[in-house]
Structure 1
C-alpha cells in the first residue's frame, strides 16, 4: 500500500509529499464520480456508511433549522439503524420524524408518501437495497416523485453499489451513501454524494477539508482503495450479479428441500443477488447460530451492525408484522469467492443443525 508506507504525505500540505497525496486523493474522487455519474465536486470522502448516513440526515435537518424551519425527516420503516437513529436524534432535538411503511414486495404506500411530501420534509431517506433481506426499494421512482415535490431524497446505497445499476445521472437522488468494505475495499472509508445545489450543514468543524463538509486529514489510502474497489465492482457487476443470483436460488431451493416449512423473506420482491434471508419456525435462534458457527458456517441473524441481541429485527417486523414473531431468521451473504461447493456445504450443514436443534427442543419439552 504505497499511500501508507511510501507516499504518506498529508494531502493538505504544500510540499512534494503533500502534493503527491493530494493528487492521489483527487484522482480517487474523480474515479468515484465517473463511476457514479457525478461531478468530482459532488463526492465527499467520509469515515464509512454510518457517518455518511448521519451527515446526510443531520446535515439536512440543521440546514432546515438554519432557515427557520422545524425539520421533518421521513424514512422508510426498513432503514439501517444509522438512518433511523439519526432521524430519532432530529426528533429528540425538537424536529419530527415520519415513517413510510414498506410492503413485503418492497413497494411503498403512495398515499403515505404523498402525505409526507405535502409536509415539505428536510429530507426523505429510502435505502436502495435493504441490508437484511436484500429487497430492492423503488428508489428511481421515489427520486422522481421527490424531485417533482422539491424535496431532497437521500438513499443508502451501501448494499446496492456493484450489485444493481446505480448512477446519479440516471436517477435524480440528491444524497447517496456508499462504503468501501461492502465492495471489498478498505474498512472505515465511505462516500457521501451531494448533488450540486443541495444545501447541507457540516456536523464537524476544524481544518476545512472536503470543502468544509467533513473536516479532518483525509485517509488517502482509504480513498484510493474505495475508488479501485468501486471500479472493479461496477466492471464486474452484470456477470457477478447473474452468478450470485443463481447461487442464492440454489441456497434457497436446497434449504426449502430440507426444511419444508422454511420461509424466504423478501421472496415476493425484486431483490439484489447477494443476500438470502430465511426464517426457520420452531427452532431456537441461539441454538441455530451456535450450531452453524461450530459447523464452520458464517451466518448472521440480521445486520452485522445490530447482531448480538437476538430480538425480532425491525426490518422483519416492518415487512411481516406479527408473522415475524416466533421465526428464527438466518441471513446468508454470497460474494466474490462463494462457489457452488460452498453453497452445497452450507445447505447441508444448515439442514442438519435445524434438525438437531428441533430434536433437542422436543426432547426438553
Structure 2
C-alpha cells in the first residue's frame, strides 16, 4: 500500500507505541490519586505536557489535554464566547469560510444563541486577506478564530499578522493548528495567539487525544463538567496512555522538523509537476506555494473525485477527496466552494497528502497510475464527451 492520506490520519510510530505500552498494563495508575502508582502516571503526564509545550514555544502550565482537535476547538470557541459575552464584552466572532467542521458547526450553534459570526472570504488562493479582517472588526468583536493550515487544500493563513491585529484590538485569537503542528514551525509567541488546538493522530500519535494551548491569563467558561481535571476545562480521568503518546509524538516531530520539511516538500513538488505535466486540464486547488509541505489538492475536469479514489485504491494507493470529517456528507466541499469552484469542478478534486515515510519511488508510481485512470474515467463521462467546452468555460483564475 502507498499511503497518501496523512491529513486524515497517520499511523502510530513504533517509538511512540513503545513508550505507551507500559501505561496500558504495569503503570496504569490514575493520575489524580496520591499513592505511588498515581504519582507515576502524574509524572508521565507532566513530562508529556512539557513536550507538547516545547513544540509550540509555550510554557507547560499553558497546556491542557483534551480528546482531540474537535474538543479543543469547542472548549475555546464556546468558552471564550460565553465568558466574554457574560462580561458584557460583545457577541461578535470572526472566522474564515474554510474552517474545519469543528469550528464551522460550533459557530453555527452560537449564531442560533444570538451571537454574530462573520465568515471571511478566502478567494481563489484559499487565503484570508488582512484588509478583510480589519474591515470586519467591530466594537462587539470578542474572538477571531482562523485555522493555521487548511485540512483540504493545505493553504497557510497569515496567522502572525492576524495575531498582531487581534492583539492591537484587544481581541482573543484562536487558531486551529491541527494540520500544522509537527509539520511546519509553530510558535505561539510569534503568532500572538491566545489559544491553539492540537491533535495527536495527525503527527504519528494515537487517536483520541489532543491538546489546547491557553495563554496565561486567558479566561474561559467551562462547557464540560466533572471532576475538575485539566483546570476544569476538560474534566474526566486523564487518558495517560494517549497523553504519553502525544508527548512522544511531539518530541520526535520537533526533533525531525527541519529534515522532514525539506524532504516532504521535495516529494510534493515532484508530485505536482509530474501530474500536471501528464494530465491535460489538471489544476492545483489553492495557492501552489503557500501551503503545507505535504499537501496536494488536484482538480481534474470532467470526472468525480470519488471515482479516482476508488480506482487508486484498487491499485494500492490511498487518497481522498477532502476532509475525512466531511466525507460522509454528499454535498460539495465548502472549502472548494469558498475558493470559487462550481459544484461540477469541486467534485473532480483529489487530495494527496504526503508523509516523511513516503518515498520518491512511491511518488513516481502515483504519477504513473493517475493519467490512465483519468483517461478511463473521462471516456466514461457523459458530460466530458458531450461538450468539453463547458469545462473551458468553468476554468477559474485560481487554476495554476
Q: TM-score per shorter chain, which class?
A: over 0.9
Alignment-derived partner of residue 2 in structure 1: 22
2:183 is the counterpart of 1:175 = no
Alignment-derived partner of residue 59 in structure 2: 39
Alignment-derived partner of residue 7 in structure 2: none
Alignment-derived partner of residue 241 in structure 2: 221
Residues 16-95 of structure 1 mapped to structure 2, 5 A cutoff: 16-68=36-88, 71-95=91-115
Q: Is the 8 A contact 2:73 2:176 kept in 1?
A: yes
Aligned counterpart for 1:246 among listed residues 257, 266, 269? 266
Please list every run of at least 4 consecutive aligned residues from structure 1 whose deviation after the TM superposition is greater than 6 angstroms: none
* TM-aligned CA deviation for residue 93 of structure 1: 1.2
Gaps of 5+ in 2: 1-20, 387-400
* TM-aligned CA deviation for residue 170 of structure 1: 2.3
Residues 290-310 of structure 1: CA deviation (Å, up to 9, x unaligned):
212212111100001111334
Residues 312-364 of structure 1: CA deviation (Å, up to 9, x unaligned):
21111111243873651100010121001111111222212111111122598
Aligned counterpart for 2:185 among listed residues 122, 141, 165? 165
Residues 64-213 of structure 1 mapped to structure 2, 5 A cutoff: 64-68=84-88, 71-213=91-233
Gaps of 5+ in 1: none
* TM-aligned CA deviation for residue 120 of structure 1: 3.5
Residues 58-88 of structure 1: CA deviation (Å, up to 9, x unaligned):
1111112321455222111111010011111
Structure 1: how far apart are the matches of 2:119 and 2:196?
A: 19
| Helix, strand or coil at the partner of 1:320 | coil
Q: Is the 8 A contact 1:316 1:324 kept in 2?
A: no
Q: Which moved more, 1:308-317 or 1:145-154?
A: 308-317
Q: Is the 8 A contact 1:279 1:329 kept in 2?
A: yes
Q: Taking structure 1 as the reference length, what is the TM-score of the superposition?
A: 0.95
Structure 2: how far apart are the matches of 1:24 and 1:198?
A: 26
| Helix, strand or coil at the partner of 1:278 | strand
Give the 3 Å change call, closer, same or farther, for CA 19–92 of structure 1 in structure 2: same
Structure 1: how far apart are the matches of 2:303 and 2:135?
A: 41
Structure 2: how far apart are the matches of 1:136 and 1:281?
A: 25
Q: Is the 8 A contact 1:317 1:324 kept in 2?
A: no
Q: Which moved more, 1:29-38 or 1:121-130?
A: 29-38
Give the 3 Å change call, closer, same or farther, for CA 325–284 of structure 1 in structure 2: closer
Structure 2: how far apart are the matches of 1:270 and 1:324?
A: 25
Alignment-derived partner of residue 282 in structure 2: 262
Q: Which has the higher contact order (CA 8 A, sep 6+)?
A: 2
Give the 3 Å change call, closer, same or farther, for CA 186–93 of structure 1 in structure 2: same
2:385 is the counterpart of 1:359 = no
Give the 3 Å change call, closer, same or farther, for CA 241–310 of structure 1 in structure 2: farther
Give the 3 Å change call, closer, same or farther, for CA 112–321 of structure 1 in structure 2: same
| Helix, strand or coil at the partner of 1:74 | strand
Q: Is the 8 A contact 1:125 1:154 kept in 2?
A: yes
Q: Is the 8 A contact 1:77 1:102 kept in 2?
A: yes
Residues 223-269 of structure 1: CA deviation (Å, up to 9, x unaligned):
11111101111111111111111111111111112212101112345
